[in-house]
């Protein structure tokens, strides 16, 4: 996993080249809504892109992490199936249901059944390198979503400039990011970690939680402001020093949410001494999102080392899939 995280900037550069070379068919159908299907490491890119380009979108985007599809799906729907392995049963179920409804379907995968189904039906499909844990291929999955959004005229191709800038940013700040992550991991080691962010970065917070779950083998939770201020903040009356708070902060956070975060931090400080702020770097929203993702990936790896666990191993998920295959 260390090697895979180290290669994140290179993966991002490769992902851009794959997207540029992808042969995608045009569509004459009007797209009135978008549904992105994907779970776990294959699905988090959908959550994040929907937030990063929300202000530019003229149609609603729904990220569906379940079997089946929303009832509104029809021929005016662009459904994007994201499954790194190509064999995620929930995604395959959703794609098959979408085909019956006449939806426009595109896929992002490394192979498997999803790739075969895409070939059989002549769907647009961008294929990425396989053989790695899906969560380690985030640079590929999110980048290809940008390419699909651009191809279907949902956003402008200006976003690719920001993706390329993010690659340069991460490459130039390798050592700085790792050093900051190592310091953060030391400070929150042994704590139950709670992650807070502005609502626009809740997908990045979710990604961090997922990485702590899978890489570090520890439970954590995340929430977003301002919603967190309307419920969970009261729960801090039962908080204590066993909890470590990580605040993900961006220059693009809503100004009122920035104030809320500062005030919330004061409330947390009455219950725990471990409050860490991770500030995003970069000129654009996309750069800052990629920066925080990589920084948090490193934190999860260093915590895995502190916990004495293998960050690659996911035996419990393998067991679950094996048992499900028997039913």
Same structural domain, 90 and 113: yes
314: in domain: no
Distance CA 185, CA 208 (A): 13
pLDDT at position 321 is 86
User: Taking 90 as the threshold, does the pLDDT of residue 224 lie above it?
Assistant: yes
Lowest mean pLDDT among 212-221, 228-237, 283-292, 313-322: 313-322
Same structural domain, 19 and 155: yes
User: Taking 90 as the threshold, does the pLDDT of residue 223 lie above it?
Assistant: yes
Q: Is 281 a known active-site residue?
A: no
Q: Is 326 a known active-site residue?
A: no
pLDDT at position 266 is 97
Domain range for 216 is 174-307
Given 143, 165, 187, the domain boundary residue is 165
262: in domain: yes
- Give me the mean pLDDT over the 220-238 stretch: 98
pLDDT, tens digit, 9 for 90 and up, residues 95-126: 999 999 999 999 999 999 999 999 999 999 99
Same structural domain, 19 and 53: yes
Same structural domain, 50 and 96: yes
Judged on CB neighbours under 10 Å (0-12, 13-18, 19+), 249 is: buried
Same structural domain, 156 and 231: no
74: in domain: yes
Q: Is 230 a known active-site residue?
A: yes
Closest residue by Cα to residue 157 from 144, 167, 147: 147
326: in domain: no
- Give me the mean pLDDT over the 211-240 stretch: 97
Given 132, 165, 198, the domain boundary residue is 165
Same structural domain, 11 and 151: yes
pLDDT at position 265 is 98
242: in domain: yes
pLDDT, tens digit, 9 for 90 and up, residues 43-98: 999 999 999 999 999 999 999 999 999 999 999 999 999 999 999 999 999 999 99
| 36 DSSP β-pair partners | 63, 80
Same structural domain, 193 and 161: no
325 — pLDDT class (breaks 50, 70, 90): confident
Same structural domain, 156 and 10: yes
Candidates 25, 230, 315, 326; catalytic one: 230
Give 266-312 as a DSSP string. HHHTTT-S-EEEEE--SSSHHHHHHHHHHHHHHHHHHHHHHHT--SS
Same structural domain, 215 and 271: yes
pLDDT at position 210 is 98
Tokens at 165, concatenated: 């800038």
269: in domain: yes
Same structural domain, 244 and 144: no
Q: What is the CATH number of the domain that holds 73?
A: 3.40.50.10490
pLDDT at position 284 is 97
Same structural domain, 19 and 161: yes
278: in domain: yes
322: in domain: no
pLDDT at position 205 is 98
pLDDT, tens digit, 9 for 90 and up, residues 117-154: 999 999 999 999 999 999 999 999 999 999 999 999 99
User: Taking 90 as the threshold, does the pLDDT of residue 29 lie above it?
Assistant: no
Candidates 151, 191, 206, 214; catalytic one: 214
Please tell me the total count of domains within the chain.
Answer: 2
- Give me the mean pLDDT over the 271-281 stretch: 98
Given 165, 187, 215, the domain boundary residue is 165
28 — pLDDT class (breaks 50, 70, 90): confident
Average pLDDT, the chain: 96
Distance CA 88, CA 32 (A): 26
């Amino acid at each position: 996993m260390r090697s895979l995280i180290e290669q994140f900037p290179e993966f991002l550069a490769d992902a851009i080249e794959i997207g540029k070379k992808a042969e995608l068919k045009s569509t004459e159908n009007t797209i009135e809504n978008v549904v992105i299907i994907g779970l776990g490491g294959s699905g988090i890119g959908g959550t994040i892109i929907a937030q990063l380009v929300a202000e530019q979108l003229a149609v609603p985007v729904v990220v569906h992490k379940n079997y089946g599809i929303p009832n509104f799906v029809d021929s005016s729907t662009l459904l994007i199936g994201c499954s790194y392995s190509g064999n995620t049963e929930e995604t395959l179920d959703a794609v098959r249901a979408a085909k019956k409804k006449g939806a426009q379907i595109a896929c992002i995968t490394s192979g498997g059944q999803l790739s075969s189904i895409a070939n059989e039906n002549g769907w647009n499909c961008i294929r990425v390198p396989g053989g790695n844990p899906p969560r380690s291929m985030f640079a590929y999955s999110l980048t290809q979503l940008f390419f699909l959004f651009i191809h279907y005229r949902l956003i402008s191709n200006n976003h690719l400039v920001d993706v390329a800038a993010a690659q340069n940013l991460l490459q130039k700040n390798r050592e700085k990011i790792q050093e900051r992550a190592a310091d953060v991991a030391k400070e929150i080691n042994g704590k139950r970690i709670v992650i807070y962010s502005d609502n626009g970065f809740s997908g990045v917070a979710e990604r961090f939680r997922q990485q702590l779950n899978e890489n570090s083998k520890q439970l954590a939770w995340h929430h977003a402001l301002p919603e967190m201020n309307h419920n969970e903040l009261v729960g801090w009356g039962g908080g204590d020093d066993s909890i470590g708070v990580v605040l993900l902060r961006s220059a693009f956070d809503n100004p009122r949410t920035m104030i809320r975060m500062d005030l919330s931090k004061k409330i947390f400080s009455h219950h725990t001494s471990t409050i860490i702020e991770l500030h995003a770097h970069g000129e654009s929203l996309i750069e800052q999102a990629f920066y925080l993702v990589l920084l948090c990936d490193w934190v999860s790896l260093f915590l895995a080392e502190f916990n004495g666990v293998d960050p690659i191993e996911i035996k419990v998920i393998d067991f679950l899939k094996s048992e499900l295959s028997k039913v």
